Amino acid sequence: MQQIVDQKQMKELERYTIEEIGVSSIVLMERAALAVVEELKAHFDLTRVLVVCGSGNNGGDGIAAARILHTQGYSVSVFLAGKRESFTEESRIQWKIAENYGISQVNNLQLDEYTTIVDAVFGIGLSREVTGKYRELFEAINQSKIPVLAVDIPSGVRGDTGKVFGSAVRAAATVTFAYGKTGLYLYPGADYAGKVLVRDIGIYKYEKNALFVLEEQEYAWLPSRVADGNKGTFGKVLLVAGSKNMSGAAYFAAKAVLCTGSGMVRIFTEESNRMILQQLLPEALLTTYEEGEAKERIEEKLNFARAWADVEAAGPGLGSSREVHWILEKLLESSYREGGSHPLILDADGLNWLSGHMKVLKGMKRPVILTPHMGEMTRISGYTMEQLKASPLACLKEFCNAYPVTVILKDARTLTGSKGSVYYINLTGNSGMATAGSGDVLTGITASLVAQGTRVDYAAPLAVWLHGKAGDQAKEEKGERGMTASDLLDALPQVMKKLDAATRKS
């Protein structure tokens, strides 16, 4: 797993490294500059380089990088966007050294003279709007279309949230130090960061209260398949989904359950969906109810289905009928398995119902995973869309501290977590996945992973990661613009086949 920290955590790590470990700040600056130069030489045209510097330590990193390039024979110039009288002690030292080396300093920018720009104006400490000459500078850099390497974070982006302070430099890549910063991965900051390159410069490392990014090795969270297993060995999922004219949602979720590796899926749905679901997915078991059917009869069928299952998932295409509301009440009343508890995944219409019954979660003993997109999150949490967009991670943590659930907060950068656990941000996937049925596929993947024995707090981030990997596989074959949920289902077994093979090799 890759670890990500926020502004406060990074400042504390720097302080600890300097004051407690004893590594001087100027040594850290030199190491940062060397990392910048390494990435410039590996990925950029260094025919003529312009380093744009501020007065803080981010500017000091840039000045030191310019000096290293100069001593290695590259054509490099420095433009000081800040004021000399505002230099930090470290930046003042670097500026003096650069002057002693005779490095070119420019006062009037002619950006078209350069092949690469290094952005070292503001670091992660920025907390104010970008105005005046800085805004004009950033807009000129962006309009020039010259490739930019940002130092630690693109100037103008908030390190915690990815918020743009009015204007920001749009980089082709960002070299950041020790850990990735939260604002590099959350939008809109992620759109300005380009490719994020994390480089070690000797900052003290820790693993506390961090945000994590899943990588391929976390696929091992999914238990291995046993050679002598049967269809019941790999998990039985009860999917409460589909209403009249919404059979597709049930199909996508149920097919995803099977494509992810579960042995059996049972769809609890309206009788009107029977024929189409049997034709689309003959592998699925069906238990159906009629609109207007007696509650006692529906309850009998539901109890039978729940006793059969290992995991329950509810919501895709479920609708909001009287019968649906009653079924959801029953699902949330209690666990049905003696001596244990069914994990429950709630999505879509299940969340819409939950928004009016949040008190049922307070005393919940069974594992519950909620899978809201941002709009659904506003309904179940009370946050406004503006609050969620501005601080999604903070809102998610606050919600999870209030309710004993695991949450998959779906967005371009999906976040997952639960109280007392670590939180995850997903970097797989693409815009082609913003299509009808995609969320239903995720529900099925999540339910399947839990049914196969994956810990609930691992299953949620792993499901999101696999969902995104399937989207990336589908992108290779279909492109983003024309991708459908069916393409995700086609890609999912291919992705898991590759991952299974890689796991066996390791």
Within 10 Å of residue 349's Cβ, how many Cβ atoms? 25
pLDDT at residue 339, rounded to an integer = 43
Instruction: Write the pLDDT tens digit of every residue in 405-423.
Output: 999 999 999 999 999 889 9
pLDDT at residue 332, rounded to an integer = 87
Q: Classify domain 216-505 at the CATH topology level.
A: UDP-N-acetylmuramoyl-L-alanine:D-glutamate ligase (3.40.1190)
Peptide bond into 223 cis (omega under 30): no
CA atoms within 13 A on the CB side of 55: 8
In percent, how much of the chain has pLDDT > 90? 91
pLDDT at residue 420, rounded to an integer = 86
pLDDT at residue 441, rounded to an integer = 99
Residue 77 CA to residue 109 CA, distance in Å, equals 10
- In the chain, domain spans: 2-7+21-207, 216-505
The CATH code for residues 2-7+21-207 is 3.40.50.10260
Nearest to 369 by CA among 464, 435, 284: 464
Averaged pLDDT for residues 59-84? 97
Sign of CA dihedral 288, 377, 207, 157: positive
Averaged pLDDT for residues 73-88? 96
What share of residues in the chain are helix, strand, coil (percent, to 5)? 45, 15, 35
Within 10 Å of residue 22's Cβ, how many Cβ atoms? 8
pTM: 0.94
Backbone angles phi, psi at 428, to 5 degrees: -85, 165
Residue 172 CA to residue 193 CA, distance in Å, equals 7
pLDDT at residue 338, rounded to an integer = 47
Residue 491 CA to residue 476 CA, distance in Å, equals 10
Range with the lowest mean pLDDT among 135-149, 221-235, 479-493?
Answer: 221-235
Helices 89-101 & 25-43 angle (0-180, nearest 10): 60
pLDDT band at residue 340 under the 50/70/90 scheme: low
Query: What mean pLDDT value characterizes the chain?
Result: 95
CA angle in degrees (0–180, nearest 5) for 443-396-370: 25
Give the CA distances from residue 349 to residues 279, 352, 354, 382, in Å, rounded to whole numbers and listed in that order: 24, 5, 8, 17
With H, G, I as helix, E, B as strand and everything else as coil, classify residue 418.
Answer: strand
Range with the lowest mean pLDDT among 218-227, 372-381, 435-444?
Answer: 218-227
pLDDT band at residue 268 under the 50/70/90 scheme: very high
Averaged pLDDT for residues 248-274? 98
Residue 325 CA to residue 341 CA, distance in Å, equals 22
In the chain, count of helices (H) and strands (E)? Answer: 18, 19
Sign of CA dihedral 290, 295, 297, 303: positive
